[in-house]
Each structure stands twice: as C-alpha cells, then as structure tokens.
Chains A and B, each alone.
Chain A
Amino acid sequence: MSPELHSEHGAVGPVYLSREQIATRVSELGAELARDYATLDPILIAPLKSSVVFLADLTRALPIPHTLDVIELAPYRGSGAGGVRLLKDVDAVLARRHVVLVEDVVDTGLTLNFLCRTLALRDPASLAAVTLLDRPYRRLVDDIPLRYVGFTVPDELFAGYGLGLDERWRARPDLHSVVAVELPDAATEAA
C-alpha cells in the first residue's frame, strides 16, 4: 500500500460509505430538520474538527433560516486531571435559541453529554443532536438528545469526510474503514 494511505496509527481501508450515499442521507437529514424546525430559526453547533465537513453539507441541505457556530474541546490525553477544557467557545448567545449539535460520530456519548450539560446552562429553548454516524455499542451515557442519525455503523474506526486519524485523510470525500494498529505499551499504560 502506498505511504499516503498509512499513518503512525493506522491505514486507510476500503470505502465504507460512498460520497453519493452520504449525500443522499444528508439531504434526508436536512429535510427532517427543516420539517421539525421550520419556524424556529435553529442554530447548528459543531465541535471541531471532525464535524466540519458534515456541517458544511448539512447547512446547505437545510432550506430554512438558521445560523452556524463551532466549539472546540481539548482532546483527552490520557489523564483525567482537570477535566475537559474548551479551546473555543461558541460565539452566539444561546438563551431562548433552538440548538442543534452537529456531531460526526457518537460513540460512548461522553462528548455529547458534556456538550449538552455545558450548553444547557445557557438556557436554550431546546437542545437536540444530529450525528452522521452512530456507534452505540459502548454507550456509557444514555441521557443525550440524539434525535437524528445518519448511519448506525459497526464498532470500527473510520476516516474521510472530515474524520481523520493522526490529522490525515479528513479531505477524502468518501468514508473509509481504518485498520488501526496497537499503540505501544508506553502510550496506553495509565500514569
């Protein structure tokens, strides 16, 4: 396999969802959101970075007035100390707004749960979430307002369509399976 298909922690595998399959489903999600939020002027909020491609397509598939914003969380680095930090907060005032969180993947639900708890403190009129991919097999928190799901996928890693591994392959238009390699002992052993 050519070097551009490998990174330190994995390799790009076959296409799992083609750009056409994704586009069709994103259009359907846009229609569902347009029906449910027709007069509500929702604000779509996406956590950086993996969700940006999905956000870009979803906003163009949503034929009702709405606004966009982004948020960025510091990634988990193997230490729970200090908890999640916001690297970038949303710019908009969320009080009385109808908020739709736009996720690329929901897995354990921990990130989405954290975002919901954080944004709920700002008195939004409603809070819901849409995800391109739902991987529910290791869900740890169930009290998440996941109302719209693009695809329920197997318990695997993916890259492309905004999702990256080692910051690579985000720009690939199709969604690919990823063959991950084991991290070395030093990287996985807890402190």
Chain B
Amino acid sequence: MKARTKTGRVLAALAIGSLFVAACGSDDEAADTATEATTAPAEESEPEVVLASDECAIPVSADVVAIDVMGWEFPIITQYAAELKECEAANYSFNIQFLDSKEAQNQINLDLATGAPSYEMVQGSNQFIVELANKGLLLPLNDLIDKYRDQFGLDNIPQGMWDLVTVDGKIYSIPMVANTQHVFYNEEVLNKLGIAVPKTYDEAITACPKLIEAGYAGFEMMLSADWAWQIEYDNVLGSLGVKPIDNTTGQPNFNSAEGVKAAQILSDIVSKCGGKTIGTYSTDDVQNAFQTGEYVLGHLWASRAAAMDDAEATTPEVLGKVKFAPALTGGTVLGAPAYVDGYAIPAKVGVDAEKVFLAMLGATDDESQTAAAKFGGVTRSGVSNPEGPRNGEALNVSTSKGRGADQTHPAAAIYRAEIGKALIKILDGASAADAIAAAEAAYLKEAKAQNLLS
C-alpha cells in the first residue's frame, strides 16, 4: 500500500510537471526558432540570394520565420491565403486563422493593443486598416515599399488604391483585392417577368411586388448584421450626396433630411421586399440563394460574382444566367463603396518586419494576383484570368462612380459601430427616424467621451 501510493504520487508529480512544461511552451516549435531569427542580427542580403520558387519569388530565409495571420475569409481571400502558404518554400511557416469579419476585427484589435501581438500579419479591408492605423497599431510600410517597388512592380497598382490604405502619407498595406457592391440579377427571370434592371432605389422597390408575386424573393440587400447595415446605409446616404460625418470635425451629418431618407429607403426595402427574413441571410447565404435561383435580383459583393459560375454549387438552370449591373443610385452617385483588402503588419510585430513584408510581396505578385483574379477583382493593372468572373464592368463602373471609401476620421469607427446597431433595429420594427436619432445620440455621447470630436 505504501509503495504504491508513493510511486503513484511520484508519477503524478511527473505528470503534472510534464504537463506544465507542455502547457507553458507554445506548441509551435517553429516559434522557438523564430525567436532566434529575431534576436540574431539582421543580415543584409548576401551576395548570392536564393529565391524560393516561381510562385513565391522571395529570398529563402536563413532561419524559419513563423507567421500567424488573422483575417476574415471570402473566396478570393482563401486564394490569397493559399498564395501566402506557397512562401513556405522560403523557409516560412504560416498559421492562418479566420473568423467572422466582426470577430476577426475584435480579435485583431485586442491582440495588437497589447503591444506584443501574437499575430505577425493581419488581413483586412481598407476600412479596418485605416481604423487600426489611426490607433497607431500598424507598421507604416513606406520604406519597404520604396525598397522593393521596382523588383515587384508595385507601381502596377493604381495610386487610387494605395491612397485607400494611406493615412497622413503613411502606407499601411499592399492592396490586393478590389471590391465593391453592385447589382446581381438573373437575366432570364427578369426578362420573363418583364422587369427592367433597376437603376435607382425607387425602381428596385417598385419591382419587388412583381417578383414576390411570381414566387421569388424581392430585391435583396445584405442586412443580417450591424456592420452590414452600416455599409449599405453609407451606400444609400452616399448616393444622395452626403457623407455621414464631417471628415475634419467629426460632427454628424447623418441626422438630416437625407440621412433619414436613406434610412427610410432601407426600411422600405425591408418592408416591401422581403420582410424580416432578409435579416437571416448572411453574405454566404445570399450568395447561395443566387446560386440556387431563390434570389433573382439584389445587391451583393463583387467578390461573390465568381461563385455564380461555380458549376458545383450553382443549380444548372441558374448557371450562366446571373448578370451584373452597376449599383443603384439615390440621385447623385452610385450607392457603391470602394474597398480594397490587403495584408498589414502590426506596429510592434515580434519578428523581422522585412521578412513579413517579403511574404506579403510574394503573395501579391503578378503570378499570385493572376491566380486570385479567378475569384474576384485584383489590384494590379493588366492582370486578369480567363476563368475570372464576368462582372468586371459592373465593378469598375460602381467603384469609379460610387460613393467612395469609408471615412478615415478617427471618430468614424464609432459612427460605424453606432449606426449599425441602431439601424438593425429596423428589422424589429423601429422607424427610420427613431433609428437615426438614436444613432446620433449614441455617436455623440461615445465620441465625446473618447475625445474624438473637434
């Protein structure tokens, strides 16, 4: 009895000890070597630089570079993640994690705020990148961009796109995805029902009863989450010629006649074109609904256009029938945003920033963008893919004549949070005017509390 318990205790102690060791260590052994990489003096390029491969034409690193990436996923981003993984040939190791877009933003924000980020690279839209940059959480890349500009043809990317990820002259990302929202429609069904492709919000709302009567869904918009409401609201408001807040002072413009009108348009879409069920379709759900023919007219991300030609997921009757048109307008410009997505590097990144940047370059070079062009709009001029989506024209027109990018004022982040939260209550019956009033009150209170208004 004595010996058994004693050995038992010894073994238990060993077990605890070993588990502590296991628990304390990171399970990524590459991370240990990565710390070696950071502490070793940064070596300048040796006389003979070995490039990893054609897919990832960057120098092979002497030590393993372990990069944790966080972002949110949609088809073209999946491809870019694969492009990133190709750089493992350069002695990199990638751990790419995705979350729902809002959760990813919260997660990245939390991690970068610590000053000792676990992520070495983040992926996001210009809206998010600017928000992070405003908080000083991202590394400005100007020097690195200048250094590799010629080698990787960075001038190939239009200045307009660089501007979207630039704050105060500092560039924070390499744009790799060009995205917007525009009209998707099933040509065959619309022709059969004698409905013309709508150009204004009024025309869209008028078309709804006919569609619903014929057994289809009405004009749909992506309205299932608070941030989705914010984007669509900014679209409608922008198409009426109004920017949500003043870009210098941060004072709200949206509690005005146009602001309420924009909210009313969205409210009408909900009440006349689909009811509350509109709020249960996430972006993926909307895409699926178009692919199965349930939706025949609506507003969707340009990056989902390629899915309309996906023979596996699209019903045969629908395959090839979905066409694309520029976004709707409320009068002035088109209600379409200008988005770019890209990778960015945390300001206090824990490994050699240049090596991380090289991975970014490898994942966004001509070869990578050509592969990605199969899934959506890319940023390098002259890059295209024969298997790519057919919405090039709709994308270009919507972006160039659209309401532009999300605002960059530091208080804009708070505006976006509050407007989304307030407007989504329209799904539960709130009136447009009440929602706007509530949004303004909440916005002013929070922005003032954080000293962001001037």
Q: A and B, one complex?
A: no
Residues on A lying within 8 angstroms of B by beta carbon are: none
Residues on B lying within 8 angstroms of A by beta carbon are: none
